[in-house]
Amino acid sequence: MVALLVAVPALRRSPGSAARSVLLIAVAVVVPVAVLMLRQVRRGRWSNADASRPSERPILFAVLLAGLAAALVWLVVGEPGSFLLPGILVVGAFLLLAALLTRWIKLSLHVAFAALAATALCFLRSPVGYALVAVVPALFWSRLALGRHRVSELVVGLALGILTGIALVLS
C-alpha cells in the first residue's frame, strides 16, 4: 500500500521521481518495520507479524514514526520542494493519532492503510485507487476471519484511513 501511495503520484512527475521516492520510503520506513517484525516474532515478543496485541504496538509506532522523521529530514535537506513532505506530515499525524487511540481501541492498521491509499488514489483519479477500493472489503473480512479485530476496530480503522486519505489529497 505504501509503495503504491508513493509511486502513483510520483509517476505523474517522472519515472525517476517515482523510483527515488519509493526507494526513500522503503529504506526509511518499510525495511526497518520488516526487520522489526522479523526480530519480534523470532524472539517470541510478538505472537505474529501483525503486532496483534495492543502491548506489541508501541514499538511498531516508534519505528514507523522514526522512519518517517528520518525521511522528513532527508527531504527537508535534500529535496525541500518534494511532494512527499506534506504526505509524510499527514501520515505522521495519522500514526500519532492511531498510537494514542491504542490505549482505548486497537484499530486495524491494515484496513486504515488500505482505506488511506484507496481514498487518496481515487481522489487523484488513479485506476489503482479504484482497484484498492475493491480490496478493502476483502481485507475487512480477513481481519475478522483471522480473529485479529472486532468490527468496531475495523470501522475505526476504515474511518481514520478515509479521513487521512482526504487530508493527504488536500495537503
Per-residue pLDDT of the chain (171 residues; tens, 9 = 90+): 777 778 777 777 777 777 888 889 989 999 999 999 999 999 999 888 888 888 899 999 999 999 999 999 999 998 888 888 989 999 999 999 999 999 999 999 999 999 999 999 999 999 989 999 999 999 999 999 988 899 999 999 999 999 999 999 998
Rounded Cα distance, 79 and 99, in Å: 29
pTM tops 0.75, yes or no: yes
Residues 6+ apart with CB under 8 A from 85: 72, 75, 76
pLDDT at res. 162: 96
Which among 54, 27, 169 has a CA at the least distance from the CA of 109? Answer: 54
- What does the block give as the cell for 55? 502491548
pLDDT at res. 81: 83
What does the longest C-alpha to C-alpha distance in the chain come to?
A: 45
Q: For 122-154, give one letter per residue: b (16+ CB within 10 A) or e.
A: bebebebbeebeeebeebbeebeeeebbeeebb
pLDDT at res. 96: 96
pLDDT at res. 74: 93
pLDDT at res. 147: 82
pLDDT at res. 20: 83
Q: Are 124 and 146 in contact (CB under 8 A)?
A: no
Question: Backbone phi, then psi, for 108, in 5-degree steps?
Answer: -75, 110
Q: Are 157 and 112 in contact (CB under 8 A)?
A: yes
Consecutive H or E run containing 93: helix 84-101
Secondary structure of 118-169 as H, E, C letters: HHHHHHCCCHHHHHHHHHHHHHHHHHHHCCCCCHHHHHHHHHHHHHHHHHHH
